[in-house]
Amino acid sequence: MSEAQKPAVDVENVENVSNAPQVNEVHGIQPVVATHIPESLLSPDKEKNGHRLDAAAELLRKVGAGDGTDGAFVVTPEDNARILRKIDLVILPIILVVYFLQCLDKATLSYASVFGLIKDTHLVGKQYSWLGSIVYLAQLAAQPLVAWLLVTVPVGKFISTAVLLWGATLACMTAAHSFGGLVAARFFLGLFESSVAPCFIAVTQMWWRRREQTTRVSYWYAMNGLTNMFGSLITYGLGHIDSKLRSYQIIFLFFGLITVAFSGVMYVFMPDSPVEAKFLKTDHDKVIAVERLRMNQMGVMSREWRWDHVREAMYDPKTWCWFALVFSISIPSGGISTFGPLIVESFGFSSFQTILFNVPFGFVQLVATVGGAFVATHIRMKGPVMAALCLPPIAGCVVLMLVPHNQNHRAALLVGYYLISVYPGITPLIYSWSAQNTAGDTKRKVVTGILTIGQCAGNVIGPQLYTTAEAPMYHRGLRSNLALYCVIFVMTLMVMGLLFRLNRSHEARRVAAGKSANIVDFSLYSAADADRMMAEMTANGIEGGGAATGERAFDNLTDLENDEFMFVY
């Protein structure tokens, strides 16, 4: 980045600025961040106002009380980069592989549909649609329990066990020969998969700064695109195996056994939190991992279930905004993911051609998901990117609704189908938008649970709007999808307005409390830019929130309780 491109601190009008820790110069060249651990954390008490402090606060108390530094802790940019690299090399690959396997496991139904599953198992009417919906009904029913478990049990052990159970269930689907057997297996598949997205949102909040979260969420959600690319190719190969088993049975068994095998790898290498991570070998490294998250103002984890957080989550309008957004995008998602291959087949392709033409769908999905996240990170806003991503699917739906589904119009139909494939880029932005605007351990998990309920409900409804009887045009499903993309566009603008008002409300509260009105949210900047901006602020005497900014970051406060919390548009 050139000097002209680097964000500068406006000393006359500082907007969205939080007070930085003290900045010193080392050898006149390298700025370092010296964090002073608050006096309250040097106390042996693990509770504040009757509630358990965040685990990060306990670690800082332990280090501050025992290292002879009187609570002063220095984090250099090199340390920050070193720890981030470790986190990306250990945590991120595990998340990517597990989400890839989950996407494959769910996609096996649509792959199986073009290899004779519907005919061989005598599915009629809406039975195939219900096989797509039942997974999400099970996930929906499990969310209250999942939210409680995410707060109270070790996250790494929890998700590893869930991966083992869903892999075993998928492998057992090989023995299902009727609608009853398939629907029972799909129900348990959904039940055991119900913790994946909530766990990964929690893990993302626990390990990465807010600037880093958007791209990391996009990476693991982009596994949907890789599934459509490589899953289609793998399925193409499995479909050519000469065996006594049917092609779809081989698909179920193959992906199920791979998932079971990886659950053991995850159990060994997935840590439960930065405070307990074995790959961070010293308390010094663990403190760096924690201090990187201070300006998130979100904490790490507490393992205390708090009913006041639950109540706030239920009454917070933001919660239901995230619910409405993810519900609206999940309806078309559920329909397309279940019926996508059948839609392509309706263009006049054979089973194997259908699988191959699903590969570009995955590529466009991957580019939209990761590309959208990079743009949102660069401009430090989610709303405008989400609104822009609604436009290609709107155009794609119009094409598929107006162009006849026959061999003479294959090219135009495929263009319309691939335009629709941009929509998956919206979902991870909703995930990260919600995650970055919610604080308090229990509240985060409850909001994520409600978000997942919205996703599950949408995915239940989505396949029901499509039916094999409406082939090849699928008018009802495409009309509903078109309407929902328009609704998401409008709702996105409304949510941006709500977040703007909340920031103004927090600003007024800070002024009333005698603090600086303006805060720079350094968690949205790169470490290098944040260090440079903090140095500029110090040199120009800008307080930007006072010396205490960030001291309440690990008090397990919610976003509405902490007046230093900055909402991200």
In terms of CATH, what superfamily is 79-501? MFS general substrate transporter like domains (1.20.1250.20)
Domain boundaries, the chain: 79-501
Cis ω before 393 (30° cut-off from 0): no
Torsional sign, CA 451, 568, 47, 73: positive
Q: Is 70 exceeded by the pLDDT of residue 500?
A: yes
Say which amino acid occupies 149: L
Token reading at 178 = 């009727």
* Residues 333 and 459: beta-carbon distance below 8 Å: yes
Cα separation values, 483 from 327, 394, 470, Å:
13, 8, 19
pLDDT at 516: 76
Q: Tell me the three state secondary structure of residue 47.
A: strand
* pLDDT tens sequence across 170-228: 999 999 889 999 999 999 999 999 998 899 988 998 899 888 999 999 999 888 888 77
pLDDT at 393: 96
pLDDT at 24: 35
Least confident of 261-265, 360-364, 420-424, 531-535: 531-535
Token reading at 154 = 């070790």
Pairwise CA distance, residues 494 & 386, whole Å:
12
Least confident of 56-70, 143-157, 318-332: 56-70
Q: Is 90 exceeded by the pLDDT of residue 7?
A: no
Smallest Cα–Cα separation from 334: which of 452, 458, 450, 426?
Answer: 458
* Residues 415 and 364: beta-carbon distance below 8 Å: no
> How sure is the predictor about 75, in pLDDT bands with cuts at 50, 70 and 90?
low
Torsional sign, CA 10, 527, 502, 320: positive
Residue 163, burial from CB neighbour count under 10 angstroms (0-12, 13-18, 19+): buried
Cα–Cα–Cα angle for 238, 241, 245, rounded to 5 degrees: 95
> How sure is the predictor about 54, in pLDDT bands with cuts at 50, 70 and 90?
low
pLDDT at 238: 81
Q: Is 70 exceeded by the pLDDT of residue 453?
A: yes
* pLDDT tens sequence across 504-531: 999 898 888 877 777 777 777 776 777 7
Residue 478, burial from CB neighbour count under 10 angstroms (0-12, 13-18, 19+): buried
Smallest Cα–Cα separation from 545: which of 3, 15, 10?
Answer: 15
Question: Residue 515: CB partners within 8 Å, gap ≥ 6?
Answer: 545, 546, 548, 549, 563, 564
* pLDDT tens sequence across 260-285: 999 999 999 999 888 888 899 888 88
